[in-house]
Amino acid sequence: MTKYDNRLLQARAGVARHETSVEQSHRRVPINLRQSGPTPVEMLISTRVRKSPYWHLSVEAGCWRATVYNRIYHPRGYVRPEDGGAMVEYDSLVNDVTMWNVAVERQIQVKGPDAEAFVNYVITRDASKIKPMHGKYVILCNDEGGILNDPVLLRLAEDEFWFSISDSDLEMWLRGINIAKQYDVSIAEIDVAPVQIQGPKSEALMVDLFGEDIKSIPYYGLMEAEIAGCDVVISQTGFTGERGYEIYCRNVTEDAEKLWYAVLDAGKAHKLRVIAPAHHRRIAAGILSWGQDIDQETLPFQCNLAYQVPRNKEADYVGKAALEKAREQIEAGNPPFDLVMVGIVLGGEPITDYANDFWLVYGPDGGDAVGYVSSPWYSPELQTNIALAHVPWAQRDIGTRLSVSLPSEYGGNVVDAEVVEVPFRPSVNPNSREVAKSRGSDFVD
Q: Measured between alpha carbons, how far is 196 from 74 in angstroms, rounded to an integer?
A: 13
pLDDT of the residue at 12: 42
Q: How confident is the model at residue 171 (pLDDT cuts 50, 70, 90)?
A: very high
pTM above 0.85, yes or no: yes
List the beta bridge partners of residue 419. Answer: 344
Whether 439 shows a pLDDT value over 90: the answer reads: no
Higher pLDDT residue, 201 or 408?
A: 201
Q: Measured between alpha carbons, how far is 233 from 156 in angstroms, rounded to an integer?
A: 9
Which of the following CATH numbers is that of domain 192-270: 3.40.720.10, 3.30.1360.120, 3.90.245.10, 2.60.40.10? 3.30.1360.120
408-417 average pLDDT score: 93
- pLDDT tens digits, one per residue of 185-203: 999 999 999 999 999 999 9
List the beta bridge partners of residue 134. Answer: 155, 221
Which sequence spans correspond to the domains of the chain? 192-270, 288-438
Whether 240 shows a pLDDT value over 50: the answer reads: yes
CB atoms within 10 A of CB 363: 17
If we measure between CA atoms, which residue out of 196, 215, 211, 205 comes closest to residue 266? 205
- pLDDT tens digits, one per residue of 14-58: 566 666 678 888 888 888 777 788 778 888 888 899 999 999 999
- pLDDT tens digits, one per residue of 109-167: 999 999 999 999 999 999 999 999 999 999 999 999 999 999 999 999 999 999 999 99
Q: Measured between alpha carbons, how far is 431 from 445 in angstroms, rounded to an integer?
A: 12
* Residue 204 · residue 392 · CB < 8 Å: no
CB atoms within 10 A of CB 205: 25
Coil, strand or helix: which one is 436?
Answer: helix
Lowest-confidence region among 153-167, 310-324, 349-363: 349-363
Over the chain, what is the mean pLDDT?
92
Q: Measured between alpha carbons, how far is 41 from 33 in angstroms, rounded to an integer?
A: 19
- Which letter does DSSP use for residue 236 in this model? S
Q: Measured between alpha carbons, how far is 252 from 103 in angstroms, rounded to an integer?
A: 10
Superfamily of domain 288-438: Probable tRNA modification gtpase trme; domain 1 (3.30.1360.120)
pLDDT of the residue at 2: 41
Task: Determine whether 58 is exposed, middle or buried from the number of CB atoms within 10 Å of its CB (0-12, 13-18, 19+).
Answer: buried
- Which letter does DSSP use for residue 18 in this model? P
pLDDT of the residue at 427: 72
* Residue 344 · residue 386 · CB < 8 Å: yes
DSSP characters over 188-204: EE-SEEEEEEESTTHHH
Whether 8 shows a pLDDT value over 50: the answer reads: no
pLDDT of the residue at 3: 38
124 CA to centre of own chain: 18
- pLDDT tens digits, one per residue of 71-118: 999 999 999 999 999 999 999 999 999 999 999 999 999 999 999 999
